[in-house]
Amino acid sequence: MTEASPNMEVLNIGKIPKLSNQCLIQMMSSFKRLTSLNLAGLFAVRDQTVHHIVKQCPKLLSLTLSFCPHITDVSLIEISTYSPSIRNLDVSGCRAITDRGVQAIAMSCICLQELDLSLTSTGNRGVYLLANYCYRNLHTVKLSFCWVSPDAVRKLCKHCKGLKLLHLYGCCDVYKIKELQEINKNVKVKCDCSDKQET
């Protein structure tokens, strides 16, 4: 595949079983024009893999690492260092992702448009940093099942004027959707009780 498609720009190899870390590293060395890469659910993906990807693929704009169990904050630091122009990032289900990793992304990847942090260990500090540094372009944020306070979410809605979609599943008992929509009239809030409040 690498020999036949050296100019490939979009690659989705998520959930492919028995794909080794070494194989991934070798593949990425041949795909230097990639702009979009999906590695969702790959057990083989490590922080070392991400380091190699972002160094070998300078044009990368979209990266999906959802439910890759070995991904940590180190990967987000690598992304912030070598792919500061990233637009879309999905690390949902990566439990080892914390505010430390989000800080690296928020302070370097100011062009970020879509970010999925659902089911990670992201907290209030990470959300505050996103509000302070990524407010220019951020339009989609997913924080479902993260321990973040209503105050942090309010600040995100207030600072990110272009915010259009906010996922807060698993958090509906502490958020008032109407209040968030009064702060930012453009945002659509999706959570467990959104259907009830929209009717």
**Beta strands 88-90 and 62-64: pairing type?**
parallel
In tens digits, what is the pLDDT along the chain, a chain of 199 residues?
Answer: 555 466 889 999 998 888 888 888 888 888 889 999 999 999 999 999 999 999 999 999 999 999 999 999 999 999 999 999 999 999 999 999 999 999 999 999 999 999 999 999 999 999 999 999 999 999 999 999 999 999 999 999 999 999 999 999 987 555 578 888 899 999 999 988 654 444 3
Residues facing 88 on adjacent strands: 62, 114
Could you tell me the residue ranges of all domains in the chain?
A: 10-198
Total residues belonging to the chain: 199
Domain 10-198, CATH among 3.90.550.10, 3.80.10.10, 3.30.160.100, 3.30.565.10? 3.80.10.10
| Both structure tokens of 104 | 């690296």
Write down the residue that tokens 């070598």 correspond to.
82
| Both structure tokens of 140 | 């989609």
| Both structure tokens of 124 | 């209030």
Residues facing 89 on adjacent strands: 63, 115
What's the CA gap between 7 and 102, in Å, rounded? 31
Q: How far is CA 195 from CA 127, 148, 159, 181, 184, in A?
A: 25, 22, 25, 14, 19
Write the CB contacts of 173 (distance below 8 Å, at least 6 apart in sequence): none
